[in-house]
Structure 1
Amino acid sequence: MSDDRLRSRRPSVDAPTGDVAAAPEAAPLPGEHRGGFQREFTQPTPLQFVPAAERPAEPVVPEPRVEWAPAPEILPRSGAWALALGIVALALSLFVGWAFPLGIAAVVMAVLALRHPWESRTVAVWALGLAALSILYSAGWLVWAAAQAGLLG
């Protein structure tokens, strides 16, 4: 390529006008102090002196504000009790027919446990199943006893 073609391809830079500020001789480095601070960051803060005659005899300490959090609400737990009562009712109903009130109580407690969202559903279902089984066994014993006594026709 000839020199004329190279010159025509090079961009031309105009001379700066009067409204453009000239660049400083050396650009500041990152983090270099540029002025504007009155004191160093680690310098102590100046304190005002209060004469002893104007100071209070004892420092005024504000009374602490104590607020107690409300006591957490104790939620009724019936699932574990229903399961324990259902197990006892089932064990007794294997031998006697008069354990059906325990089974009915266990069924009621298990149904209450199923209605509470904080209760374990698995425990409540097991309690309900064992309590229902204990009622069936007790009913079987009572029917057998009634048949033996001649109360059933």
Structure 2
Amino acid sequence: MTDQRMPPPDDAGLPEPAASEAASAEAPEDDGMPPAASFGPTPAAPQVEPASPDIDIVPASSMLPGSHRGGFFRLPTAPVAVTVQSAPTEPAGDLTPASAQWLAADEPQIHKGLAGWALAFAIIGLVVSLFVGWGFPIGLVAVVSALFALRRPLESRAVAVWAIVIGAMSILYSAGWLLYAALRANLFG
């Protein structure tokens, strides 16, 4: 095997470094790195065009989160403009199980039963008012809940009307008992 070493570099074709470069090459640098060799004049810096008016110029320092960025476009309580866009229509028979799972849920139904509760309170109020006069609050609850039931679209109107009638009767019986007790106690003279 032969020894294949590289020949030493030939400095004959390179230009002589300037005096300031030679002085800096001989002086040790403070970062511990050897000086970069200069093999000729440095190329000119590329020309940079100014920014076009379409580009927003970024400020020199970045803004902190939460800092003011120049103002508001509308008041916080101003109405928001609503734009209506037509949804793309799909054929009705083209629904697959994968797309059917993304359909909107049905509206929550109004629960029925208020008229039934009103009738139950009216019957209990009537039974209580047959024995004592202080059962009139139960009749009042029956009449008020029956009036609410009449305002709801899914409630039975007949049951609500019966609750109003029976609740009014329980209030009258309670008033009769209270009047009888007041007369017995000579409260009215």
- Could you tell me which residue of structure 1 aligns to residue 129 of structure 2? 93
User: Any idea what the Cα deviations from partners look like across 1:13-71, whole Å, max 9, x if unmatched?
Assistant: xxxxxxxxxxxxxxxxxxxxxxxxxxxxxxxxxxxxxxxxxxxxxxxxxxx44325425
Q: Secondary structure at the residue paired with 1:75?
A: coil
Instruction: State the AA in 2 paired with 1:120.
Output: S
**1:29-44 matches, cutoff 5 A:** none
Higher-RCO chain (CA-CA 8 Å, sequence separation at least 6): 1
The one of 145, 148, 157 aligned to 1:112: 148
Q: Can you give the 5+ residue segments of structure 1 that lack an aligned partner in the other structure?
A: 1-63
2:109 corresponding residue in structure 1? 74
The runs of at least 4 aligned residues of structure 1 exceeding 6 Å deviation read none
Equivalent-residue separation in structure 1 for 2:125 and 2:186 (angstroms): 27
- AA aligned to 1:73 is P
How far apart are 1:150 and its partner, in Å? 1.4
CA distance in 1, matches of 2:145, 2:130: 21
Q: In the alignment, which residue of structure 1 is the partner of 2:138? A: 102
Aligned equivalents of 1:96, 1:150: Cα separation in 2:
19
Which runs of structure 2 are paired with 1:1-153 in the superposition (5 Å)?
64-65=98-99, 66-67=101-102, 69-76=104-111, 77-153=113-189
Cα distance, 1:91 vs structure 2: 0.5
Residue 5 (structure 1) aligns with? none
Kindly provide the CA deviation profile for residues 117-152 of structure 1, in whole angstroms up to 9, marking residues without a partner as x: 211111001000000000000000000011111111
The 2-side partners of 1:74 and 1:99 are apart by 34
Q: Unmatched 5+ residue regions in structure 2?
A: 1-97
Tell me how far apart the structure 2 counterparts of residues 68 and 91 of structure 1 sit (CA, whole Å): 51
Give the letter for the 1:94 counterpart: L
TM-score (norm 1): 0.55
Q: TM-score, normalised by structure 2?
A: 0.45
Q: Deviations over 1:88-134 (max 9, x none)?
A: 00000000100000100100011111122211111001000000000
Could you tell me which amino acid in structure 1 is paired with residue 154 of structure 2? W
The one-letter amino acid of 1:75's match is I
| Distance in 2 between residues matched to 1:72 and 1:91, nearest whole Å | 40
Greater shift in the superposed pair: 117-126 or 82-91: 117-126
RMSD: 1.8
Give the percent of matched residue pairs that are identical in Structure 1 and Structure 2: 52
What is the DSSP-based 3-state SS (H/G/I as helix, E as strand, rest coil) of the residue aligned with 1:99?
A: helix
User: Residues of 2 paired with 1:122 and 1:102: CA distance?
Assistant: 20
